[in-house]
Chains A and B, each alone.
Chain A
Amino acid sequence: MNAFDALLGGFANALQPATLMWGFVGCFVGTLVGVLPGIGPALTIALLLPLTYHVPATSMFVMFAGIYYGAAYGGSTTSILLNTPGESAAVVTSLEGNKMARRGRAGQALATAAIGSFVAGTIGTLALTFVAPWVVEAALAFGPAEYFSLMVLSLVAVSAVLGNSMLRGVISLAAGLLFGLVGVDLQTGQPRLTFGRAELLDGIEVTVAAVGLFAVGEALYLAWQGREAKSAEVMKMSGSLWLSKSDWARSWKAWLRGALYGFPIGAMPAGGAELPTLLSYYTEKKLSRHPEEFGHGAIEGVAGPEAANNAAAAGVLMPLLTLGIPTSATAAIMLSAFEGYGIQTGPQLFTAQGSLVWTLIASLYIGNVILLILNLPLVGLWVKLLKIPPPWLYAGIIVISTAGVYGAGNSVFNVGLLFVFGLIGFVMRRFDFPAAPLIVGLILAPMAEQSMRQALTISMGDWSTFVTRPLSASLLLIAVLLLIVPPLWRRVRG
């Protein structure tokens, strides 16, 4: 069965009323959390993990995909109307978007962001549809040694390349790997790093760590600062949501260029969404016929980066679905959800769970349409949400976080651990440690260890297996280069 036939089967499933309903709920919740500051898709999906026991896998992943795409859409509203980007990928949107809002063109900024997100999200999903089967075919040749090397590459890329400091990224990663090893060793049954506590035998749950770092850590930091007591200034909704002929002419090329940056870079292990949004912004600034408008509200400066952001969101799903490798905190938590359902990720996912994967991909197309319909007409509702006073907003976030963690197993111990991770998140936030490497390390530690042990068992304990197999050696070489080249480059330039 080729990709097109499989996709048609996916559409048949995704258009079932129940699946469609979960997709709609995901898009709505995703937009909501994208709009609200202090709560993002990683946290939301982590909080919904306890539902994996109650909802079929297909419905759950369709909802998660809706949340993931919806948050990328919703983030633009906060950037444009509040000038407070909810995530780093939306920083660039606020540069021109908020200036447009201040000039009475908030409607046009929101419209080009939403339509650009739709166009780029659809292009990204198309690319995912037709490129993913190739990647799967290539990845089927991977053995445990290649998998271990691929995980090393991903871990190095996520921690050493992203963020402001390689050292702090690697520290965050090392802590994540350590936390990921807590619990019973699956091969020997030995408890490890558990302090003799029965509650830790099953390991540290990703929900506890992610929610603690993202929600409790952020709330502790903002409360400690004491600068969030009042609602920030929300711009009035001004200007029409209909784009003029000139707005269309200035936007459509920026959308396409943004999508072309976003998908391939998002699909790379260290890609993320920050780099393509920045590249898109500077490209549009360079190519624009109105460069003087940049810095004062140029529509291309909103259209391009928003498109790049959404195409990157589709790109991030590629290594997750084809290789089982998460390259962002949200993808890591989605991987954990696969584990929750007992679904083995990696290239075999497309064959063993073909129906689930293609339904998920089909639902991304449908989700893009739902989000386009949902975003613009409901913009008044999103604006109202931005006006919730911080005390009640953060009280709600912490109560829902506590409820989500407590509900996963009625464990008071886990609630305590949630606040411990909150304190860790507070320190990390204050001293600029990135949180994503910790979460990715936590999820990948047991998988990386298992691949390493399998590879060494096959090679009868010969460590050279990692460097004598060409693909494995190439992956390790890239990882080493990622560690060495950026500091050397900085030194040479300095």
Chain B
Amino acid sequence: MTPRHVALLMAALAAIAFWQWTLIPEPVMQQAVGPRLFPALVVAALALVAVLYGLSAWRGRQIDLSHEDGQSALPGAQGRLLSVLGGGLAFMLLVVPLGFVIPATLCGMGVARGFDAPLGWRSALINLLVAAAFWTLFAQILGVGLGPALPWGI
């Protein structure tokens, strides 16, 4: 990924924002300023700065911090990134059917794997303890609704 790719992503965001803006209906009542003006200004500003960033990136004036000394990614970067994201995905898919603790444990294991901790019993146990502790603190002591801890409704 380079700053030019970032410029393309920003242009895509501006285009999607413009499309969504076109879907905002005109208000029924006459108003000095309706619900479309401020979003229009913001979308226009975003499009403008995306173009400026693109031009600047094309001239090689935008930076990628990973090119600085000691900041580049070590081999296996994509795998580590996917491990962390996979942990989050596991949580999203499993939290409703399985309750909080097991998906949070899997999420923690995914993140730990992203930081080069092996996927094994040690990781499972540590993350299980962390997830159970957080569930107890949030749900039991502070009263935040995290749902049941386990699939059988505890």
Contact = CB atoms under 8 A, between A and B. Distances in A.
A219 B46 contact: no
A412 B35 contact: no
B112 interface: yes
A174 B34 contact: no
Contacts of B31: 187-188, 453, 457
Interface residues on A, range: 35 or more
Interface residues of B, number: 81
A50 B144 contact: yes
Contacts of B35: 185, 187-188, 190, 192
A432 B123 CA distance: 33
Contact of A392 (B29, B64, B117): B117
B154 interface: no
A391 B88 contact: no
Interface string A247-285: 000000000000000000000000000000000000000
Given A195-B20, A403-B138, A415-B91, A177 B32 contact: no
Interface in B1-50: 1, 3, 6, 9-10, 13, 17, 20-21, 24-25, 27, 29, 31-35, 38-39, 42-43, 45-46, 49-50
A394 interface: yes
Interface in A359-413: 389-392, 394-396, 398-400, 402-404, 406-408, 410, 412
A431 B83 CA distance: 22
A111 interface: no
B42 A177 contact: yes
Given A223-B115, A432-B65, A460-B32, A403 B52 contact: no
A399 B144 contact: no
A456 to B, nearest CB: 4
B65 A430 contact: yes
B93 to A, nearest CB: 8
Interface in A219-235: 219-220, 222-229
A449 B38 contact: yes
B96 A398 contact: no
A216 B64 CA distance: 19
Contacts of B111: 219, 223, 391, 394-395, 398-399
Nearest to B42: A177
Given A419-B88, A432-B65, A174 B42 contact: yes
A461 B116 contact: no
A181 B41 CA distance: 11
Contact of B91 (A185, A226, A402, A457): A402
A384 to B, nearest CB: 16
A50 B34 CA distance: 32
Interface of B: 1, 3, 6, 9-10, 13, 17, 20-21, 24-25, 27, 29, 31-35, 38-39, 42-43, 45-46, 49-50, 52-53, 56, 62-66, 70-77, 80-81, 83-85, 87-89, 91-92, 95-96, 100, 104, 107-109, 111-117, 123, 126-127, 130-131, 134-135, 138-139, 142-147
Given A398-B111, A403-B138, A404-B138, 16 more contacts: A54-B142, A167-B56, A171-B10, A174-B49, A181-B38, A187-B35, A193-B24, A220-B85, A223-B114, A224-B77, A392-B126, A395-B112, A398-B88, A410-B147, A449-B38, A457-B31
Nearest 6 Cβ contacts at the A-B interface: A391-B117, A223-B114, A226-B74, A395-B108, A391-B115, A407-B144
